[in-house]
Structure 1
């Protein structure tokens, strides 16, 4: 019998949100996808291409055109940018590139579960640092175990809360280990949240971004990292040569060229989120003040539990997220869909009372 590596054998894999069965008419609000399509420029780009030309040749392994577009948009040199197969590949790369067996990474709790899963797979110790009672991250508490790296999702998932850039900069000023800031949801957050503009000032800062959320390209699997050129070069060495396929590169380039569409979509989602939160609160729900495209909320005390409501919604083909963990077991995380979809959710919850 072929032995399995002990770390893999005991690993608890990251569990993504379940998918509706093929052909099921469902409302899918459990993976924080955009309820709206990508920019029309994406479809226009594909419409001008012949499939045989798109699929026959290998893609550009360096994603140069996207990096040039990102450089122009964010004012960051091309040499300080690296594209990957979504943020998930970039998270794996940073562990492979900068941390060794027995090193420690500090992450807040709760946060995106993939950080811990990939760390354990790589033989990296994980220091889980509880957030405050209000679920806010205390950046300085992350340093108490003297870790070699710190990872912060900002805004955080699954809470939807954010830190201001100044709070993260204070951490950078007092800590010389690797600081990774995952800004998957930053396009939905208020001004002053992103630390992307600090990568040229702090050589220990890595910022991760994705095209999955605000750009509505979850299925394309593309994201990027920004940081000191030395860090970016190291990650590039460990990256799969053609990890970002040709379709993803074309989609990302087209989406980047339509910032007005992205901002309009983000504004629509934010308006729907506000209306949905207000409706929940009027019926007794406790809703964390999200700045993302999802909300984390607890049902009214004395009524049906979060798990019961999750199962009821699921029975009506409404997919939301339930985390059976101590701090989240009384809550549901609900992605923001269209106005119509969110009203269906509210109606279903009202029938459950």
Structure 2
């Protein structure tokens, strides 16, 4: 297995679960006890309500929007594929996404033959993500995109894990775009798939059209349980209390890497990108139980994305990096 094959995605791989995983952007304080208990207690012997009426109303109340604006999805990736299919079905031909972005935007566009355009004003579908992956900052073209593209989706996967700053789009602008939420990262439960989108304020017809494109029961019992738990005050309190810990772990990690000669790019989220002082053998690190996310496939060759992790994980990373440097020397 090549280095690229092994590090193009975060989390477990063909070698199993990394002992010290910096490659996943999930909340390292997790899993959230409330959400984990809800998932473990979910009754998988029964179908969920096919209309998800109670869940839909609860999500709408949580975000203070009309329930008709809520579109449930099997995952963020499933929604990305579905909205791309809908755009193509409606006659859309072009899509725009940032130069550094989640790969599923481009993959879905290719699958539905949406041509990549460098001009958001020519886009029938445009993607934004804040905090952005992999750099963890604001999208510099956000206001231009919202003011010009036909349909805009704001991916908010990492908004709950924001450690500083605020979204560059104010609440008025947010009401004019699709908002895609995937709470499993914030809850530390990435193995449970489940997401939802909030349609723009005046897009109830479009929301119904996207609902009609969904398969039956896009959410299983465990996803419903996770999303229900996400809306609870207990889970939200746990998340709020986890952020100062993540902020300190991130500060310590950045300081450690800079001490070893890395160049660290500032970010607003619980993850960031950094460039090592010499060529890094990520597979050699993996043999030490340490996994980093190679950012080459994200448009940043030579850089790695790392998430804030507990002190013991940082000790393991430091040892592995020092050991590799000594072997090179």
Both proteins in one fold, TM over 0.5: yes
Determine whether 1:27 maps to 2:4.
Answer: no
Q: How far off its partner does 1:297 sit?
A: 0.4
Gaps of 5+ in 1: 1-14, 130-141
1:142-197 Cα shifts (integer Å, max 9, x gaps): 426x1212111221111112248xx734543x325111111111112245317583
Question: What is the CA-CA distance between 1:347 and the residue it aligns to?
Answer: 2.5
Asked if 2 retains the 8 angstrom alpha-carbon contact of 1:79 and 1:232, the reply is: yes
Query: 1:332 aligned to 2:322?
Result: no
Q: Which runs of 5+ in 2 are unaligned?
A: 1-7
Alignment partner, residue 295 of structure 1 = 272
What is the total number of aligned residue pairs between the two structures?
312
Q: 1:314 to 1:25 in 2, by over 3 A?
A: closer
User: What is the CA-CA distance between 1:92 and the residue it aligns to?
Assistant: 0.9
Q: Is the 8 A contact 1:196 1:226 kept in 2?
A: no
* Equivalent residue in structure 2 for 1:124, among 114, 122, 146: 114
Kindly report structure 1 stretches of 4+ aligned residues shifted beyond 4 Å: 20-25
Of 93, 98, 102, 2:82 maps to: 93
Does residue 161 of structure 2 align to residue 168 of structure 1?
A: no
Contact 2:128 2:142 in 1 (8 A): no
Match of 1:229 in 2: 204
**Are residue 83 (structure 1) and residue 69 (structure 2) matched?**
no
Relative to structure 1, the CA distance from residue 275 to residue 86 in structure 2 (aligned partners, 3 Å threshold; closer, same or farther) is same
TM-score normalized by structure 1? 0.79
TM-score when normalising by structure 2: 0.85
- Greater relative CO (CA pairs within 8 A, separation 6+): 2
Bigger mean CA offset, 283-292 vs 108-117: 283-292
Q: Is the 8 A contact 1:102 1:123 kept in 2?
A: no
Q: Distance in 1 between matches of 2:168 and 2:217?
A: 29
In the TM superposition, what is the alpha-carbon distance from 1:262 to its structure 2 partner? 1.2
**Cα pair distance change 1:93/1:46, threshold 3 Å:** closer
Task: Report SS of the residue matched to 2:306.
Answer: strand
| 2:279 aligns with one of 284, 287, 305 | 305
SS of 1:70's partner is helix
Which of 251, 254, 259 is residue 274 of structure 1 equivalent to? 251
Alignment of 1:1-353 (within 5 A): 16-17=9-10, 19-20=12-13, 26-45=19-38, 49=41, 54-100=43-89, 103-127=93-117, 129=118, 142-143=119-120, 146-163=122-139, 168-169=142-143, 171-172=145-146, 174-175=147-148, 177-189=150-162, 190-193=164-167, 195=169, 197-198=171-172, 201-202=175-176, 205-227=177-199, 228-257=203-232, 258-300=235-277, 304-306=278-280, 308=281, 310-324=282-296, 327-353=299-325
2: distance between equivalents of 1:326 and 1:45?
Answer: 34
Q: Are the structure 2 counterparts of residues 19 and 38 from structure 1 closer, same or farther at C-alpha, using a change threshold of 3 Å?
A: closer
Question: Does the 8 Å contact 1:199/1:226 carry over to 2?
Answer: no
